[in-house]
Amino acid sequence: MPSPERPPGDDRPATTDTLGRPLRDLRISVTDRCNFRCTYCMPREVYGAAFRFLPHADLLTFEEVTRLARVAVSLGVTKVRLTGGEPLLRRDVEKLVGMLAGLDGLTDLTLTTNGSLLARKAEALAAAGLARITVSLDSLDDTVFARLNDVDFPVVQVLKGIDAADRAGLTPVKVNMVVRRGLNQDSILPMARFARERGYTLRFIEFMDVGHTNGWALDEVVPAAEIVAIVGTELPLEPLEAQYPGEVASRWRYRDGRGEIGVISSVTQPFCRSCTRGRLTAEGVLYTCLFGTDGVDLRARLRSGADDAALRAHLAEVWSSRVDRYSELRSEATTALPKVEMSRIGG
């Protein structure tokens, strides 16, 4: 399985922050728009008909995205993930995939999607050079899923997209499930059964306090330990070692050898000390933490004529001064900080 580890012979100098964390992963949002209104990301009461999304001219062009990615790769990035909003809403996104796939030193190119457009896009994405894909799916129950996506989008259409990705070779297909108490905790076991039967890699994600619009409350978090216990009551599990430094999911293997699950536990078991991720918004603002309060405008430097050497020096300076460890410090004071919204930063 691809990982953000360096390939043999990679002699690029390490770019590390104040805690010694290298820059290995870059998540790139290609749009702030989405056709879902998931309650934990883009609640309808905020992102309604009157909400003003970014005009197209404010978005980074594909050439600008590729240039920044190339600079990041020169500093040690080995993995790029395209996100949104919903990235498949960005017209001709497969062209960007093709441009990024050609970058020397990039060993893992992937994309996270809600799956709504994946059935029609999977083959083109694979042909362009996408390595694999992650699909967000929070329940197999249509009623529950509709409450979460808030646009009455049917589960079967997402499943068709997942099947299309599997056929196109975007494997291993990963499925992400955000678990929110009172909404979809009863879907944990059905999702585990489904992924195990199909051979998909399932990742459960604790409901996180990203931004300020998703109504986050600690008592709605289903802790990772509880999720593992729920699955283990029917499908016995045993822990697995991390595959590479900085892996965010704690992995558990079914004892009979038929697959695994992972749990991303940013709230109850923070992994800040091993975080290797930078995040670039659709308009070119770099954040060094998912819960970031301030970003750095790289688009302005791009469009003012900065050359690659200047961009590289600036990005290295930003990362080397990074001190982020929000999840380790989470408190009443930190949760009130003006954090960037999930729809801008891409999760």
Domains parsed from the chain with CATH numbers: 25-345 (3.20.20.70)
| pLDDT at 9 (0 to 100) | 53
Token pair for 10 = 């990679």
Q: Note the pTM of the prediction, 2 decimals.
A: 0.93
Q: Which of 285, 283, 277, 294 is nearest to 24 (CA)?
A: 277
Convert 206-234 to b/e letters by CB count within 10 Å (16 or more is b): bbbbbbebbebeeebbbbbebbbebbbee
Do 250 and 223 touch, CB atoms closer than 8 A? no
Do 215 and 39 touch, CB atoms closer than 8 A? yes
Do 339 and 212 touch, CB atoms closer than 8 A? yes
Do 96 and 30 touch, CB atoms closer than 8 A? yes
| DSSP three-state, residue 125 | helix
Residue holding tokens 């029917």? 234
Token pair for 147 = 């409450």
Q: What is the pLDDT along the chain (347 residues), one digit of tens a residue?
A: 344 455 555 666 679 999 999 999 999 999 999 999 998 889 999 999 999 999 999 999 999 999 999 999 999 999 999 999 999 999 999 999 999 999 999 999 999 999 999 999 999 999 999 999 999 999 999 999 999 999 999 999 999 999 999 999 999 999 999 999 999 999 999 999 999 999 999 999 999 878 777 778 888 999 999 999 999 999 999 999 888 777 888 999 999 999 999 999 989 888 888 999 999 999 999 999 888 888 999 999 999 999 999 999 999 999 999 998 878 877 766 776 776 887 888 76
Do 25 and 288 touch, CB atoms closer than 8 A? no
Token pair for 31 = 């749009």
Token pair for 101 = 């796939």
| pLDDT at 1 (0 to 100) | 37
Backbone angles phi, psi at 250, to 5 degrees: -80, 125
Please, what is the end-to-end C-alpha distance for the chain in angstroms? 22
| pLDDT at 4 (0 to 100) | 47
Q: Element (H or E) spanning 79, and its range?
A: strand 79-83
| pLDDT at 166 (0 to 100) | 96
- The span from the CA of 226 to the CA of 229, in Å, is 5
Amino acid at 38: C
| DSSP three-state, residue 333 | helix
